[in-house]
Amino acid sequence: MKIKTLTALLITTALSAAHAQTLSDNAVKIGVLTDLSGVYSELSGQGSVKAAQMAADDFMKANKAYAGKVSVTGVDHQNKADVASNKAAEMIDRQNVDMMVDMPTSSTALAATEIGRQKKVISMVVTGGTTALTNEKCNKYTFHYAYDNYMLANGTGTAITKRGGSSWYIIYPNYAFGQDLNRQMTAAVQENGGKLVAPSDATPFPNTDFSTYLLKAQSLKPKIFGTMQAGNDLVNVVKQYNEFGLKKQGIGLGIGLLFETDVAALGQDAYAGALATVPWFWNFDARSRVWAAKFEKAFGKKPTWAQAGVYSATTTYLNAVMRAKTDNSDAVVKELEGSSFDDFFARHASIRPQDHRVLLDVHTVMVKAKADAKEPGDIYTRLSTIPAAKAFMPLAESKCKMQ
Of 65, 72, 99, 73, nearest to 316 by C-alpha is 99
Angle of helix 45-62 relative to helix 286-299, nearest 10 degrees, comes to 110
Query: Does the pLDDT value for residue 7 go beyond 50?
Result: no
d(C-alpha 148, C-alpha 166), whole Å:
23
Q: What sign has the CA pseudo-torsion 100, 71, 321, 303?
A: negative
Residues 308-332 have pLDDT tens digits of: 999 999 999 999 999 999 999 999 9
pLDDT in tens, 290-300: 999 999 999 99
Q: Is 194 in a helix, a strand, or coil?
A: coil
Quick one: which H or E segment has residue 327?
Answer: none
pLDDT above 90: residue 6: no
**Band of pLDDT at residue 334, cut at 50, 70 and 90:** very high
Q: What is the mean pLDDT of residues 355-384?
A: 97
Domains identified in the chain and CATH numbers: 28-147+284-360 (3.40.50.2300), 150-278+363-391 (3.40.50.2300)
pLDDT the model gives residue 49: 98
Roughly how many angstroms between the first and final C-alpha of the chain, as a whole number?
56
Instruction: Tell me the pTM.
Output: 0.93
H-state helical runs in 63-193: 81-95, 106-119, 149-152, 158-162, 176-191
Nearest to 325 by CA among 113, 101, 65: 65
Judge contact between 114 and 94, C-beta under 8 A.
no
* Residues 6 or more apart whose Cβ sits within 8 Å of residue 281: 260, 288, 305, 363, 365, 379, 380
CA dist 64 and 1 (Å) reads 28
Look at residue 19 in the predicted model and tell me its pLDDT: 45
Give the SS3 label for residue 22.
coil
Contact 347, 360 (CB under 8 A): yes
Among 22, 11, 27, 101, residue whose Cα is nearest residue 67? 27
Contacts of 86 (CB under 8 A, 6+ apart): none
Tell me which H or E stretch contains 299: helix 286-299
Residues 166, 252 contacting (CB under 8 angstroms):
no
14, pLDDT greater than 50: no
Beta-carbon count within 10 A of 341 CB: 17
DSSP 127: S
Per-residue pLDDT tens digits for 77-103: 999 999 999 999 999 999 999 999 999
Q: Give the CA distances from residue 198 to residues 101, 159, 166, 195, 247, in Å, rounded to whole numbers and listed in that order.
A: 38, 21, 13, 9, 19
> Which residues are CB-neighbours of 311 under 8 A, at least 6 positions away?
51, 52, 54, 55, 291, 295, 345
What is the structure's pLDDT at 218?
Answer: 98
Please check whether residue 317 is in contact with residue 101, taking contact to mean a CB–CB distance below 8 angstroms: yes
Whether residue 336 is predicted with pLDDT greater than 80 in this model: the reply is yes
Contact 336, 143 (CB under 8 A): yes
Where would I find the H helices in 63-123? 81-95, 106-119
Nearest-CA neighbor of 344 among 289, 382, 389? Answer: 289
What is the sign of the dihedral through the CA atoms of 216, 218, 223 and 224? positive
- Tell me the pLDDT of the chain averaged across its residues: 94
Report pLDDT for 8: 44
The order of strands in the sheet holding 358-359 is 340-341, 349-351, 358-359
Q: At 258, which amino acid appears? A: L
Q: Helix, strand, or coil here: 354?
A: coil
